[in-house]
Chains A and B, each alone.
Chain A
Amino acid sequence: MCGIVGLHLRDPALYPRLGELLTGMLCEMSERGADSAGVAVYGDPVWSPPGHATVTVIGAVPDLPDVTVISLGETHVVHAPVPVDALVAAIRAQLPDALIAGFGEELTVLKGVGHPRELAATFGLAKAQGWQGVGHTRMATESAVTPEGAHPYAVGPDQCLVHNGSFANHATIRRHLTARGVVFDSENDTEVGARYVASALADGRDIESALKSLCAEFDGFYTLLVSNRDSFAVVRDAIACKPAVIAETDAWVAMASEYRALVGLPGIEQARIYEPEPERIYAWTR
């Protein structure tokens, strides 16, 4: 099954409440997936301070020189005032076997195995701030229940993808990407989608064009929420049996698998609420 939530804030007055709102949304979707969960937060001043690169590492992290490490259970947020590429390279050199769950200038990814409510508490998610957040509750179908199998998949700088559904031809597309030199962290089908989008963006394409190609090449069932340093996009497959609801006000755009996850948002009573149509790309920019 799986649950997806996302919140793109338009009103800066709400930035201090991002974590609180995202926590409520995520926990309401616990029944759609209780084996793992994850979130992506854009612009938190503690996890991703301005001028710093942030990398999330899952697993043990020894003392690293010249960086700040914030440990949230098994998930460690590492930031330093260096370029993103440099921090990723330094961590890969020091910890060649570690899982890097996300990296960027504004993005912090936190994910793991366990109940969404317990993970949110471990992460201290309710206190987070920022301008955009994404969450996922997982009910595993296509790969094992491991931190590597948890969403979000954040495989490009400041990029993040969450998925409800299952890709049918992911092994074929994985082979194509591998032949192009793309390296995978897991056996998960969603990671193939995330690497595909990251690869298109790295080629200079925009998110709408990347998602149109994804619709053409990927078989299977999907509702996807794809975020980037300046954007927030939703797309569903042609059959559209995986649910999705979008709500918009002047203060925010929100997306969730089910309406009940949106009930706690301020001004929901006045929101424009609709279901995204199949294979239509809905995108908002900052």
Chain B
Amino acid sequence: MDSMTIVMDKGVNRTLHRLDAGSVTITEPNGKHSVAVGLNAPLQVSIEGHCGYYAAGMNQLADVVINGNAGVGVAENMMSGSVRVNGNASQSAGATAHGGLLVITGDAAARCGISMKGVDIVVGGSIGHMSAFMAQAGRLVVRGDAGEALGDSIYEARLYVRGKVASLGADCIAKDMRDEHHAELRSLLAKAGYDDDPADYTRYGSARQLYHFHAGNEY
């Protein structure tokens, strides 16, 4: 099979799960939930329109492009492959994702990259509040601004923001951009199709003060 076009219905995911390779275009998603979830093969999937919740969730190996907006939890728990949203994403984009690349060309709402565990996320616009909450690993790049409490209770993920940050969450601090960070950021931007100057970005990460109890906390 080289390519096929299917109109969104309840059988779409079953059809996709039978394929080992090839490209598929899904039309008329009409905001339906769980479009193209659980893929586990190197498919090229294009979704023409706006999706509901959990689009391309749990993705492995496939490259999914959404030409429209995505609802709550796009690419949640992605393991590998890529998901590109040519539009805006609702809250919890890339939540808990372990790997792969998530690109959102527009804005992402609250809790983008919440509990991310290794995914790379590049957002063309701005992100909402509580993004990268409890982020454990991976990289989050934001070409616009970040909302309140960025990186609250962050572990070891690296965050790069070009614009303003409304406020930093607990234990999240600005850090120096060393040569390896410039190189890493340039590479991530290039993968997403952007060529910004990494010097315009600030890196944020964990102050590592929540890893252990402070000696002053005892009673």
Name A residues whose Cβ lies closer than 8 Å to a Cβ of B. 239-241, 243, 245, 258-263, 273-275, 277-278
Contact = CB atoms under 8 A, between A and B. Distances in A.
13 contacts: A240-B109, A243-B71, A243-B90, A258-B52, A258-B71, A259-B31, A260-B30, A262-B31, A263-B31, A274-B88, A275-B88, A275-B90, A275-B91
Contacts of A274: 88
A275 B72 CA distance: 11
Contacts of B52: 258-260
A34 to B, nearest CB: 16
B32 interface: yes
Contact of A259 (B69, B109, B128): B69
B110 interface: yes
Interface of B: 30-32, 50, 52-53, 69, 71-72, 88, 90-91, 109-110, 128-130
B110 A240 contact: yes
B135 to A, nearest CB: 18
A142 to B, nearest CB: 23
Contacts of B72: 243
B91 A263 contact: no
Contacts of B32: 260
B98 to A, nearest CB: 23
A241 B91 contact: yes
B92 to A, nearest CB: 9
Nearest to A28: B31
A275 B112 CA distance: 14
B71 A278 contact: no
A176 B101 CA distance: 52
A261 B130 CA distance: 27
Nearest to B89: A275
Nearest to A276: B109
Contacts of A260: 30-32, 52
A194 B90 CA distance: 28
Contacts of A240: 91, 109-110, 128-129
B109 to A, nearest CB: 5
Contacts of A258: 31, 52-53, 71
Q: Which 8 A-B pairs have the closest CB atoms?
A: A260-B31, A259-B31, A263-B30, A275-B109, A259-B50, A240-B110, A260-B52, A263-B31
A273 B109 contact: no
A273 B50 contact: yes
B128 to A, nearest CB: 8
B7 to A, nearest CB: 14
A278 B50 contact: no
Contacts of B109: 240, 275
A248 B42 CA distance: 38
Nearest to A261: B31
A241 B95 CA distance: 14
B120 to A, nearest CB: 24
A198 B31 CA distance: 34
A157 to B, nearest CB: 35
A63 B175 CA distance: 76
Contacts of A261: 31
B4 to A, nearest CB: 24
Contacts of B88: 273-275
Nearest to B28: A263
Contacts of A259: 31, 50, 52, 69, 71
Contacts of B130: 239
A274 B69 CA distance: 9
Contacts of A273: 50, 69, 88
Nearest to A262: B31
Most buried by A among B88, B109, B128, B130: B109
Given A260-B31, A273-B88, A277-B128, 6 more contacts: A240-B110, A258-B71, A259-B69, A259-B71, A274-B88, A278-B129
A262 B68 CA distance: 14
Contacts of A277: 128
A275 B129 CA distance: 13
Contact of B110 (A245, A262, A263, A278): A278
Nearest to B30: A263
A94 B125 CA distance: 60
Contacts of B110: 239-241, 278
Contacts of B53: 258
Nearest to B51: A259
A260 B109 CA distance: 18
A241 B128 CA distance: 12
Contacts of A243: 71-72, 90-91
